[in-house]
Structure 1
Amino acid sequence: MIEIKDLHKSYKTGKSELHVLKGINFSVKEGELVAIMGSSGSGKSTLLNILGILDEADSGTYVLDGVPIKNLNETLASQYRNKFLGFVFQSFNLINYKSALDNVALPLYYQGIKSKERSEIAMQYLEKVGLASHSHHLPNELSGGQKQRVAIARAMASHPKVLLADEPTGALDTKTSYEVMELIQGINDEGKTILIVTHEPDIAAMCKRNVILRDGLIVEDKYITQQRVTANV
């Protein structure tokens, strides 16, 4: 599903250059649930941005579902993001003046799906995350956990090949974090490929594979015995 070879990325900082990724080799098979870990400055956010087609590497190759991701203009990059990827963020990134239903339906608008069908699909995914009764609530009427569930429903509604989650539990308390991870595990059980950037060892333990970055390199890549969680943890 994902194949990255010898990926390098640097950023200019004044007159000097910061070499953030220093030759990343990384592959993910369909249906994996992978935690990407590392301290601040390790390169994990830069790697996620490249995986999410939000940034481009200086050198190396990135192939997503058989498609080389390279030299894309913004229009094509946006099309590929809509086609291949779903995003979940720590800060939820919901539109405050739109209902939960409208937030979930938004990516479908960019896919050219008609209004009635958008609403039907959005409601199906709100039901899937247990929030059908909150479909007309605005984000400020929802708890943090409910907002993240809406964000997950939005990410899944467009049927992405890969779900990318950037610190999805970072703004949540422990119980709510585990509820969100239970939902993510359930989505993965259905065959969805999911990558989670996290700095929390207990969240990483709920994934099937842990990839650890340090100073722009992968220093550990291991499959683990996944900790299953339940909402009453």
Structure 2
Amino acid sequence: MISIKDLHKSYHMGKNSVHVLKGINFDVKEGEMVSIMGSSGSGKSTLLNILGMLDEADEGSYTLDNVPIKNLNEKIAAKYRNEFLGFIFQSFNLINYKSALDNVALPLYYKGMNRKERTERSMHYLEKVGLAQWSHHLPSELSGGQKQRVAIARALVSDPKVLLADEPTGALDTQTSYEVMELIQGINDAGKTILVVTHEHDIAQMTKRIVNLKDGVIIDDSVVEQVRASAHV
């Protein structure tokens, strides 16, 4: 599903150049659930930005579902993001003046789907995350866990090939974190490919493979025995 070969990325700051990714090789098969770990400055955010088509590598190749991701203008990058990827963010990234239903429907609006279809499909995904009765509530009326569930429904509504979760439990308490991870594990069990960026070891153990980054290189890539979140809920 994802193939990354010899990926390099540098950033220029004034006269200095910082080499952030130093030859990353990384493959993810369809249906895998992989966590990417690393301390601040390890390169994990840069890697996630490249995977999310928000940034481009200087060298190397990135292929997503057999499509080479290279030299994309912003219009095509946005089209590919909407087609291939679902994003879950630490800060939820919900629009405060729109209801939960309208937040979930947003990717479908950009796809040009008519209102009736958008509403039906968005309600279906709100039901999946257990929030159908909260569909007309604003984000300010929801708890942190509920906001993240809305964000997960929004990420799933356009049926993306890959879910990219950036510190999805970072703003949540421990119990709510495990409830959200139980939901994400269920989505993976149904066949969705998921990448989770996290600095929390207990969250990483809830995936099936842990990739450790340090100073722009992968220092460890191990299949692990998955801890089920439901055991903690």
Please report the TM-score for the alignment, with normalisation by the length of structure 2. Answer: 0.99
Conservation of the 8 A alpha-carbon contact between 1:34 and 1:211: yes
What CA distance in whole angstroms lies between the structure 2 residues aligned with 1:232 and 1:49? 31
4+ long deviations beyond 2 Å: none
Judge conservation of contact 1:178–1:231 (CA < 8 Å) in 2.
no
Q: 1:232 to 1:217 in 2, by over 3 A?
A: closer
Aligned positions of 1:147-186 closer than 5 A: 147-186=147-186
Q: Secondary structure at the match of 1:230?
A: helix
Aligned pairs for 1:1-233 (under 5 A) are 1-230=1-230, 233=233
- The Cα shift of 1:232 comes to 5.6
CA distance in 2, matches of 1:147, 1:161: 23
Shift of 1:14: 1.5
Q: What is the rounded CA distance, in whole Å, between the counterparts of 2:48 and 2:123 in structure 1?
A: 29
Distance of 1:146 and 1:200 partners within structure 2: 21
Distance 1:186 1:208 in 2: 13
Q: Which runs of 5+ in 1 are unaligned?
A: none
Q: Once the 2 structures are TM-superposed, how far is the Cα of residue 210 of structure 1 from its aligned partner?
A: 0.2
* Superposed CA offset, 1:84-124 (max 9, x none): 00000000000000000000000001111100100000000
Please provide the CA RMSD for this pair.
0.7
Q: Which amino acid aligns with 1:124?
A: H
Structure 1 pair 34–63 and aligned structure 2 pair: CA distance change class (3 A): same
Query: Aligned equivalents of 1:89 and 1:116: distance in 2?
Result: 27
**Code of the aligned partner of 2:147:** K
CA apart distance, 1:229: 1.5
Q: Secondary structure at the match of 2:7?
A: strand
SS of the residue aligned with 2:181?
Answer: helix
Offset from partner CA, 1:26-49 (integer Å, 9 cap, x none): 000000000000000000000000
In structure 2, the residue corresponding to 1:226 is in which secondary structure?
coil
Cα pair 1:87 1:155 within 8 Å, conserved? yes
Q: Which amino acid aligns with 1:111?
A: K
Q: Give, in whole Å, the separation in 1 of the partners of 2:41 and 2:32.
A: 25
Once the two structures are TM-superposed, the CA of residue 182 in structure 1 deviates from its matched residue by 0.1
- Number of equivalent positions: 233
Kindly state the Cα deviation for residue 13 of structure 1 after the two structures are TM-superposed: 1.3
CA distance in 2, matches of 1:231, 1:118: 35
Name the CA shift for 1:204/1:143 in 2 (closer, same or farther; >3 Å).
same
Amino acid at match of 1:183: L
Name the CA shift for 1:231/1:118 in 2 (closer, same or farther; >3 Å). farther
Distance between the aligned counterparts of 2:204 and 2:146, measured in 1? 21
% same residue: 77
Letter in 2 for 1:61: S
**Alignment TM-score, normalising by the size of structure 1:** 0.99
Shift of 1:166: 0.3
Check whether the contact 1:87–1:163 (CA below 8 A) recurs between aligned residues: yes
The aligned amino acid for 2:60 is G
Q: Secondary structure at the match of 2:230?
A: coil
Offset, 1:231:
7.6
